[in-house]
Amino acid sequence: MNNYIESNKERFLEELFSLMRIPSVSSDPDRKDDMRKCADRWVELLLSSGADNATVLPTKGNPVVYGEKMISPELPTVLIYSHYDVMPAAPLELWKTSPFEPVVKDGKIWGRGADDDKGQAMIQAKAFETVVKNGELKCNVKFLFEGEEEIGSPSLEKFCIENKELLKSDIILVSDTGMVAEDVPSITTGLRGLCYWQIEVTGPSHDLHSGIYGGGVANPINELCKMIAQMTNSDGKITVPGFYDDVVNVSYEERKLMSKVPFDENKYMTELNVKALTGEKGYSTTERTTIRPSFDVCGIWGGYTQDGAKTVLPSKAYAKISTRIVPGQDSEKIAKLVADYIKKVAPQYIDVKVEYLHGGESYLCPIDLPAYKAAEAAVEKVFNKKPVPVRRGGSIPIVASFEKILGVKSILLGFGLESDDIHAPNENFQVSMFEKGIKTVVEFYKEFSK
Amino acid sequence: MNNYIESNKERFLEELFSLMRIPSVSSDPDRKDDMRKCADRWVELLLSSGADNATVLPTKGNPVVYGEKMISPELPTVLIYSHYDVMPAAPLELWKTSPFEPVVKDGKIWGRGADDDKGQAMIQAKAFETVVKNGELKCNVKFLFEGEEEIGSPSLEKFCIENKELLKSDIILVSDTGMVAEDVPSITTGLRGLCYWQIEVTGPSHDLHSGIYGGGVANPINELCKMIAQMTNSDGKITVPGFYDDVVNVSYEERKLMSKVPFDENKYMTELNVKALTGEKGYSTTERTTIRPSFDVCGIWGGYTQDGAKTVLPSKAYAKISTRIVPGQDSEKIAKLVADYIKKVAPQYIDVKVEYLHGGESYLCPIDLPAYKAAEAAVEKVFNKKPVPVRRGGSIPIVASFEKILGVKSILLGFGLESDDIHAPNENFQVSMFEKGIKTVVEFYKEFSK
């Protein structure tokens, strides 16, 4: 097995690069052609990796890539889920290499999608290829790669509902998460959910001279700041009434276990270059970023934002705000609670529109599932350490939907590292993790088919 | 006199258009050539209007245009001050006509600078021309048009200090203000001052994934909003300690007089399309916008601001904030107070930079000055009503500097109307006010030289 990977690894990287060169940014409406190009490229790659058939299937949004190798209806089926879309590269000026011209440097693959999720999807494709080419595949394999994960998978639920038979499987394998560290291997057992809104505040119907009108007319930026400021309090709690009502509190025992996973606060602060950490009172940084909800303004804009000084009292101000939610919380309910709250606290002298852009539920995986045990054994074999089960702060909303619609649990076996800077400038993926990932998934097939 | 204006008014407009077509946006470093082009055009126009000489004089920033017609050292001298720079046109999409392609429509001149201040400067030039061509000039006239008014006149104080003799005069005439209404003529007797800062908040050193880090690391936009929110309170007061200490409170008698100037609150709200007004408790809208300080965020930006949803915890957030200040307050003192306060309230887990971009003092003109009396009589003659003295909320910081450096008072005889939308999209200037302005300044020369 290792021979096959060793002698083909340059080609594996080249194939990954061919995907990364396609700027499949799902949030950019001008990238529709690139989405299709990336999906078509995946069809070629799945076929050359050993799939019996692979095709692009339409959805109401970007198409999904489906591929399969069905050995026998008697054997269990693994459904591999990933996504071929990526986050926007902005702000471009902060990239040290060009985001869509991948390179290997200092033992890392650099470029948008290197990890999230083209690199990790390629791990799945190349592990599958290795098992097939070695004649060792003993289960059915299906691939489902969507093109809208980074915008909240708006079409995939409907696709799952309409294609239950096609997607029938025993376990779903998802490589879209990370490990604590290369020497602290881990498997993700919990994910946060997400709600994302855009707020538009309108003051006067047109931009005004701040000298002539300043003090007499509400300024939409001043007001937006006040509204955002009052959504959290000095204890780091979200102040929206009812927000925490359904949160399932994590037991003392589980929190104690969590605290044993290595976490170097000084290193964390050094990497982020911050002088201090903050967050919800009564919780550790690990807890704040995994088992507790959070509130972040992801973007804000309004008025004059160019060079120099323009004395304007603007007409409009905007913000993109998001919360991460945790097991127990329902995204639709939170979406409404927050929107209602914003409208309630908005003063009568401004107009406020709240648009719910997307959301998704949190997820929990039991660690006594046979497929989890198989993943655990596979990781231990390659990393020489038993992986720790960890909860993660990110969201893969579709994982909760798979359970609801297809009735199938997912194993979150991912190979990213904190330093990969996914969603940010200079996204990268460690070549060693890419290779270990392929080996681990190969081992997973063996363990799973025992 | 009226004959000359009547038979030349088409040419007057054409000459104004020739200035408006030059995008002399002083805050845009790419417009340096246009600044010079506009200054050169003014030299041509001043000479053709009757100045004996006119020239472009260097400053450390954009040059000033100087022109003069000296009849006799025995006669008093009027110094005309205006500016040839304009505000940026952004946001361009809200303009109904092209900002730098002036047109006359519905009795108004449309385009950037139509009023502020190319239109008003042209009133001065063409009134001067009319008096000269009719052989009626009985005083010396000097012109001083600067190219940096809209960015706070950073070079003009030094120019005044170095050119005291050149600028020697008995009164300064400034047309950069407005009237209450065409049928409520007024002369501005007070102006607010200004302070303008840019704030830069840094959280983590690079953009982060809001799922992985959200809740554990300070978000610079969340924090910037909190800092801005706490700069004013629910009474509409600015909370910076010491901010109001030096404000000279306006007497009950003057406030009573002010309240008699017609102000239609419903019309005001309708024009701005707001459902309610707000501001400092205990003061009327007119007072809030003229004799009281104000605090406005002129611009804010940070994080992801394009289409769709990017789940990012950004590294940086920025705001441009300003206060209008009133007689008694010193801009340098306020600049420091506010910067110190921002740094004081900034939590330790973020970095905050406060840059003071510019500022200027407020101004008060006594209404018993002979030159004020001359202006009052001139307005009455053309508008058939005695003008009311009013305070204005805008700032012309250099007016306070003229008094300090040159020891000369300014008369703020301006012809703009509220509906002119200066500094905003669709700036315009009523043709009737343009013509009445020329006639009024012609009358001013007669009254002043009596």
Looking at chain B, which residue has its C-alpha nearest residue A274? Answer: B204
Cβ separation of B279 and A309 shorter than 8 Å? Answer: no
Q: What is the mean pLDDT of residues B239-259?
A: 91
CA distance B60 to chain A (A): 17
pLDDT tens-digit readout, B102-127 = 999 999 999 999 999 999 999 999 99
Cβ separation of B194 and A211 shorter than 8 Å? Answer: yes
Looking at chain A, which residue has its C-alpha nearest residue B203? Answer: A274
CA A44 – CA A56 distance, rounded (Å)? 11
If you count residue pairs, one on A and one on B, with CB atoms under 8 Å apart, how many are there? Answer: 368
Hey, is the C-beta of A423 within 8 angstroms of any chain B C-beta? yes
Residue B355 has pLDDT above 80, yes or no: yes
Q: Please tell me which of the candidates B207, B320, B425 has its beta carbon nearest to residue A206.
A: B425
Q: Please tell me which of the candidates B208, B218, B228 has its beta carbon nearest to residue A225.
A: B228
Cβ separation of A309 and B298 shorter than 8 Å? Answer: yes
Cβ separation of A324 and B206 shorter than 8 Å? Answer: no
Give the pairing type, strands A312-313 and A208-209. antiparallel
CA distance B74 to chain A (A): 39
Looking at chain A, which residue has its C-alpha nearest residue B208? Answer: A424
Hey, is the C-beta of B7 within 8 angstroms of any chain A C-beta? no
Residue B366 has pLDDT above 90, yes or no: no
Which residues in chain A (77-136) have CB-CB distances under 8 A to chain B? Answer: 87-88, 90-91, 94
Q: What is the mean pLDDT of chain B?
A: 96
CA A194 – CA B310 distance, rounded (Å)? 12
Only one residue has tokens 């990954």, namely: A16
Q: Which residues of B touch A91 (CB under 8 A)?
A: 207
Cβ separation of B288 and A215 shorter than 8 Å? Answer: yes
CA distance A287 to chain B (A): 8
Cβ separation of B310 and A294 shorter than 8 Å? Answer: no
Looking at chain A, which residue has its C-alpha nearest residue B87? Answer: A310
Structure-token pair, residue B301:
């930006």
- Provide the pLDDT for residue B258: 82
Q: Which residues of A touch B322 (CB under 8 A)?
A: 210, 214, 309, 311
Looking at chain B, which residue has its C-alpha nearest residue A213? Answer: B289
| Residue of A213, A281, A420 best to disrupt the B interface, most CBs of B under 10 A | A213
CA distance B426 to chain A (A): 10
CA B359 – CA A211 distance, rounded (Å)? 13
Q: Please tell me which of the candidates B28, B205, B225 has its beta carbon nearest to residue A228.
A: B225
Which residues in chain A (9-68) have CB-CB distances under 8 A to chain B? Answer: 26-29
Q: Measured between alpha carbons, how far is residue B189 from residues A450, B162, B178 in Å?
A: 92, 28, 11
CA A283 – CA A281 distance, rounded (Å)? 6
Q: Which residues of A touch B196 (CB under 8 A)?
A: 309, 311
Cβ separation of B213 and A300 shorter than 8 Å? Answer: no
Hey, is the C-beta of B324 within 8 angstroms of any chain A C-beta? yes
Q: How confident is the model at residue B67 (pLDDT cuts 50, 70, 90)?
A: very high
Which residues in chain A (180-239) have CB-CB distances under 8 A to chain B? Answer: 192, 194, 196, 198, 203-219, 221-222, 224-226, 228-230, 232, 236
Q: Which residues of B touch A317 (CB under 8 A)?
A: 300
Lowest mean pLDDT, pick from A17-26, A404-413, B259-268, B309-318? B259-268
**Residue A151: which of A289, A410, A358 has the closest Cα?**
A358
| Residue of B269, B320, B323 best to disrupt the A interface, most CBs of A under 10 A | B320
Looking at chain A, which residue has its C-alpha nearest residue B324? Answer: A211
Q: Which residues of B touch A275 (CB under 8 A)?
A: 348-349, 351
Looking at chain B, which residue has its C-alpha nearest residue A272? Answer: B204
Residue B152 has pLDDT above 90, yes or no: no
Which residues in chain A (346-375) have CB-CB distances under 8 A to chain B? Answer: 347-351, 357-358
Q: How confident is the model at residue B312 (pLDDT cuts 50, 70, 90)?
A: very high
Which residues in chain B (264-283) have CB-CB distances under 8 A to chain A? Answer: 272-280
Q: Please tell me which of the candidates B295, B320, B424 has its beta carbon nearest to residue A209.
A: B424
* SS3 per residue for chain B: CHHHHHHHHHHHHHHHHHHHCCCCECCCHHHHHHHHHHHHHHHHHHHHHCCCEEEEECCCCCCEEEEEECCCCCCCEEEEEEECCECCCCCHHHCCCCCCCCEEECCEEECCCCCCCHHHHHHHHHHHHHHHHCCCCCCEEEEEEECCHHHCCCCHHHHHHHCCCCCCCCEEEECCCECCECCECEEEEEECEEEEEEEEEECCCCCEEHHHHCCCCCCHHHHHHHHHHCCECCCCCECCCCCCCCCCCCCHHHHHHHCCCCCCHHHHHHHHCCCCCCCCCCCCHHHHCCCCCEEEEEEEEEECCCCCCCCEECCEEEEEEEEEECCCCCHHHHHHHHHHHHHHHCCCCCEEEEEEEEEECCEECCCCCHHHHHHHHHHHHHHCCCCEEEECCCCCHHHHHHHHHHCCCEEECCCECHHHCCCCCCCEEEHHHHHHHHHHHHHHHHHHCC
Q: How confident is the model at residue B219 (pLDDT cuts 50, 70, 90)?
A: very high
Cβ separation of A349 and B279 shorter than 8 Å? Answer: no
Taking a C-beta distance cutoff of 8 angstroms, is the pair B175, B121 a contact?
yes
Looking at chain A, which residue has its C-alpha nearest residue B90? Answer: A304
Q: How confident is the model at residue B1 (pLDDT cuts 50, 70, 90)?
A: low
Q: What is the mean pLDDT of residues B63-80?
A: 97
Phi-psi group of B387: left, alpha or beta (phi > 0 → left; psi -120 to 50 → alpha; rest → beta): beta
Taking 70 as the pLDDT cut, the residues of chain A under it are: 1
Q: Which residues of B touch A229 (CB under 8 A)?
A: 225-226, 228-230
Cβ separation of B276 and A349 shorter than 8 Å? Answer: yes
Q: Please tell me which of the candidates B91, B210, B317 has its beta carbon nearest to residue A300.
A: B317
- Provide the pLDDT for residue B254: 81
Q: Please tell me which of the candidates A29, A275, A423 has its beta carbon nearest to residue B311.
A: A423
CA distance A428 to chain B (A): 13
Q: Which residues of B touch A228 (CB under 8 A)?
A: 221-222, 225-226, 229
CA B434 – CA B179 distance, rounded (Å)? 12
- Provide the pLDDT for residue B397: 78
Q: Which residues of A touch B393 (CB under 8 A)?
A: 211-216
Which residues in chain A (390-419) have CB-CB distances under 8 A to chain B? Answer: 392-395, 418
Could you tell me how far CA A358 lies from the centroid of its own chain?
A: 13
Q: What is the mean pLDDT of residues B165-180?
A: 96
Q: What is the mean pLDDT of residues B406-421?
A: 95
| Residue of B221, B239, B419 best to disrupt the A interface, most CBs of A under 10 A | B221
CA A86 – CA A120 distance, rounded (Å)? 12
- Provide the pLDDT for residue A1: 61
Cβ separation of B300 and A221 shorter than 8 Å? Answer: yes
- Provide the pLDDT for residue B368: 87
